[in-house]
Amino acid sequence: MSEATVKSALLSYQNLSVSFGSGRREKFAVRDLNLDIGIGERVALVGESGSGKTLTALAPLRLEPEGAKTQGRILFRSTRSAGEVDLLTLSPAEIQDIRGRDIAMVFQEPMTALNPLFTIGNQIVEAVQVHQPLLRKDECIDAAIALLRKTGIPDPAQRFKSYPHQLSGGQRQRAMISMALACKPRLLIADEPTTALDVSLRLQILDLLKELQEEAVGDGGMGILLITHDLNLVRHFAHRVAVLNKGRLVEAGTTQAIFHHPENSYTEALVNSQPIRDLIPVMPLAPVLLTTEALSVSYPDLKKRKGLGFSPLRLFKPSPRSEVLRRVSFSLRQGQTIGVIGESGSGKTTLGMAVLGLLGDSAAEVHGEVDVLGNDWRQLKSADRRAMRSSLQVIFQDPFGSLSPRMTVMQIVVEGLDVHFPRLASAERENRVLDILREVGLDRTALSRYPHEFSGGQRQRIAIARALILRPQILVLDEPTSALDVSIQKQVLALLSELQKKYNLAYLMISHDLAVIRAMSHEVMVLKEGKVVEFGETETLIKHPKQAYTKALFTAAEIS
């Protein structure tokens, strides 16, 4: 849709400002925002964390955090009024009537947005009943099942009875969309609706939103406001793009114009924030640091066990098990990065946890060999394995979740030294902490601060410092940049690449972001349902994939 074909505005932000505090302490999260979303139009709002994207999305439904002060106007063309209404002037009862019925929202994380105590079907039925009280209960149930079917959930009548935890990530997001569309809203606001999904599921969800929007054209045309930091999806989805920086709208225009001819320097930097491949070849005689041979992991299959019924003989029979990792073999050499890709549920994270030896206390059953620095990792005694952990470290996906909020940066980073090198003098420990913080781009002022006082990118740098202070030879990177904006992601990947070259580190990098894998990996392992379906040199595999599954993954990521 071009600028010329955009219909009249469905939602119009006019000089919107959102601030916190008062007087000299007043801080603006959004300032003087002017933006229109047309009837039947798809607009993407992009920018880094803290740019004001989510507050802009929450303002029309009056869901701003407590203490927020909102100024300006948000005009909306409702079906129940003769003209436009200013959403900021409505009473709580009036805005409640608009929520869900006229304006619906799909949140970033469905597991926190959905009630875990109620089935998916009951939650959709409730959304229908709130705004259509004259419908009978059976009519609401039929409508809910029809919505689940429309959003592509298999066996919708059965899934109607499922609880959120019984659905996959993609299915939960589809259920959220079903709930949002239950009352045929005129405007759908989607706040990072695909962040937790792998690349193929992301495109499926956005293609679904396109289809549902096209079906709604006869009802006046549904507008969509997409909040995201995934620029690849924006290219695929949006008619127009609006760019926020520190609460201000710095540029807006057609998707083609923004991506091919950005006028603002910030927009240009954002568009060009794709990770850069800057690898040095692995030395031919580089020693092998990590090997797995026929590594398999299985868990009790509760569904099969439940279906067996009660029998005294079952007490003496092994429980049915489900294999999530099947005979995976690879070798990782010094200075090398092996990237592990695959859809959700393919076994990527299980592989990482098995290599790290972190499945021993769970219900997992592990078979096969894991050799770390010439030692059989699984056969080592606890004391010997603990001593070797300094050589094998991990950086997790969410730095905020992996760093203790009650510990200062000094306490977090020095903890490994206290465990593995307890005889170090306190001056030496502090010097090592300061050296490693400087390596990752932080300074002495960070020592006494807590994780919540840092940005996402800075928190990930702290997590990297915590791992590197032990001078490991192998790092397992489990989605290390998926929670970061593209520009911060680029910085962290550049840091990891620089550290690998400097210390000759070996990386096992797990990610669903194929651009990250392409930039960082010498070789790529493709997992599907726990099996290795393809393994080879990165560029060769990307240009000449042999398996249909691999081709589909690369196509979904638009890698060529």
Q: Which pLDDT tens digit goes with each residue over 231-261? A: 888 988 999 999 999 999 999 999 999 999 9
Q: Which residues of 188-217 are buried (b: 16+ CB within 10 A; e: fewer)?
A: bbbbbbbebbbbbbbbbbbebbeebbeebe
Q: What is the percentage of the chain residues whose pLDDT exceeds 90?
A: 48
> For 432-436, what is the mean pLDDT?
94
For residues 463 and 403, the answer to whether their CB atoms sit within 8 Å is yes
Partner residues linked to 377 by β-bridges = none
% of the chain exceeding 70 in pLDDT? 91
Q: Do 370 and 257 share a structural domain?
A: no
Q: What is the pLDDT of residue 183?
A: 80
Q: Is residue 117's pLDDT more than 60?
A: yes
The reported pLDDT for the residue numbered 209 is 84
Whole-number pLDDT of residue 3: 42
How many angstroms separate the CA atoms of 238 and 71, rounded? 28
pLDDT at residue 337, as a whole number: 98
Least confident of 139-153, 311-325, 405-419, 441-455: 311-325
- Choosing from 218, 237, 271, the residue where a domain stops is 271
Residue 499 confidence (pLDDT): 94
pLDDT confidence of residue 305? 52
Question: 210 pLDDT band (50/70/90 cuts)?
Answer: confident
pLDDT at 83: 76
**Helix/strand/coil percent split, the chain, to 5:** 40, 25, 35
The per-residue pLDDT for range 17-37, each reduced to its tens digit, is 999 988 888 899 999 999 999
Both 424 and 535 in a single domain? yes
Residue 452 CB partners (closer than 8 Å, separation 6+): 400, 405
- With 80 as the cut, is the pLDDT of residue 216 above it? no
pLDDT of residue 24: 84
389 and 241, same domain (yes or no): no
Mean pLDDT of the chain, nearest integer: 87
- Tell me the per-residue pLDDT of 277-327, one tens digit each, with 9 for 90 and over: 989 999 989 999 999 999 999 988 655 555 555 555 555 556 677 888 999
Whether residue 252 sits in one domain with residue 301:
no
The helix or strand, by DSSP H or E, that contains position 248, with its residue range, turns out to be: strand 248-254
Residues 537, 425 share a domain: yes
In a domain, 311, yes or no: yes
Residue type, 40: G
Q: In this structure, is residue 318 part of a structural domain? A: yes
Region 166-192: mean pLDDT is 83
Same domain (yes/no): 258, 352: no
Whether residue 150 lies inside any domain: the answer is no
Domain boundary among 219, 239, 271: 271
In a domain, 151, yes or no: no
Structure tokens belonging to residue 456: 């996402």
- Domain final position from 239, 271, 303: 271
**Range with lowest mean pLDDT among 50-59, 208-217, 302-311, 493-502:** 302-311
Domain count, the chain: 2
pLDDT at 493: 92
What DSSP letter does each residue of 123-169 carry, written as one string?
HHHHHHHHH-TTS-HHHHHHHHHHHHHHTT-SSHHHHTT--GGGS-H
Same domain, 326 and 467: yes
Domain that holds residue 231: 7-102+187-271
CATH number of the structural domain spanning residue 321: 3.40.50.300
